[in-house]
């Protein structure tokens, strides 16, 4: 979590620096562009309106200088000197555009940093749980379902002989893993789904969706069974949960594990 926040802050700082650099570049470019200003509205200066038309803005201070005989070699009827730099409207438009670009860039960088999988550990990576024998002991001590917090997963026992449709062999390394990993989030509206010790089912407290031990749909408004992760076992017996991909749960009609409710519901 802290690493994600650090990446977001760094991305925001980078975008702010890029925006400042772009602003300085734009200002320097605008300062080099000449803007012709007439001494009076109707003094014959090229491009100047005679009265209220479009064109370079009327500069009162230059008009006063021209009327008093100043204004350089052009005299009272000549053109005023060229003035450099953007006017207020141009400056405000540029500032608004740069600030909008910086805001959009910061939001995009923060979104990418938040969604990018964390391959160094934590959710979004392949996480080691422990030796498979220790994991099975943890499941039994937790009364049938072990909560693996770093992977946002719920671990339960899996026996391929009980898998009447061979639906989860791919997720358990062709049945080599005696553990099935379920995603803790209800596929209905995203609530965390706790284990009910009395019914031996997963029961969502938000809208009463219910799933059997393997996360297969049993009751409620959920559109499918609980989503899940692949489980891998190394040659030395270390069990890992692959959280880089959340796999959609089985359809509402799939019942690979025949397990009726074993007690009172918790919801």
153: pLDDT strictly greater than 50: yes
What is the pLDDT averaged over residues 199-207?
95
Phi/psi for 132 (5° steps) reads -60, -35
5: pLDDT strictly greater than 50: yes
* % of residues, the chain, pLDDT over 90: 47
Q: Is residue 136 part of a domain?
A: yes
State how many domains the chain has: 1
Predicted TM-score (pTM) above 0.85: no
Q: Model confidence over 23-77: pLDDT tens digits?
A: 677 666 666 655 555 555 555 555 555 444 444 444 444 444 444 444 444 444 4
Q: Tell me, what CATH number does 178's domain have?
A: 2.102.10.10
For residue 264, name the pLDDT band (cuts at 50, 70, 90). very high
Phi/psi for 71 (5° steps) reads 95, 10
Q: Is residue 183 part of a domain?
A: yes
Return the pLDDT at 58. Answer: 43
For residue 98, name the pLDDT band (cuts at 50, 70, 90). confident
Expressed as residue numbers, the domain containing 204 is 125-247
């Amino acid at each position: 979590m802290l690493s994600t926040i650090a990446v977001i802050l760094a991305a925001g700082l980078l975008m702010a620096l890029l925006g400042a650099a772009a602003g300085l570049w734009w200002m320097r470019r605008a300062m080099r562009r000449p803007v012709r200003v007439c001494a009076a509205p109707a003094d014959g200066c090229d491009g100047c309106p005679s009265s209220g038309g479009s064109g370079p803005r009327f500069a009162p201070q230059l008009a006063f200088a021209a009327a008093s005989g100043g204004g350089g070699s052009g005299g009272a009827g000549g053109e005023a000197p060229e003035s450099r730099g953007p006017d207020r409207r141009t400056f405000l438009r540029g500032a608004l555009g740069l600030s909008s670009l910086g805001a959009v860039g910061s939001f995009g960088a923060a979104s990418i940093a938040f969604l990018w999988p964390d391959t160094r550990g934590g959710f979004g990576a392949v996480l080691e749980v422990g030796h498979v024998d220790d994991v099975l002991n943890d499941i039994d001590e937790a009364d049938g379902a072990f909560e693996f917090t770093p992977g946002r997963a719920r671990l339960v026992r899996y026996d391929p002989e009980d898998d009447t449709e061979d639906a989860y062999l791919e997720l358990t390394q062709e049945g080599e893993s005696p553990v099935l990993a379920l995603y803790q989030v209800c596929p209905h509206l995203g609530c965390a789904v706790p284990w009910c010790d009395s019914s031996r089912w997963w029961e969502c407290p938000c809208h009463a969706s219910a799933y059997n031990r393997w996360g297969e749909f049993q009751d409620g408004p959920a559109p499918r069974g609980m989503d899940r992760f692949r489980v891998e076992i190394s040659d030395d017996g270390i069990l890992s949960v692959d959280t880089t991909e959340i796999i959609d749960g089985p359809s509402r009609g799939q019942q690979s594990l025949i397990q009726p409710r074993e007690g009172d519901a918790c919801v």
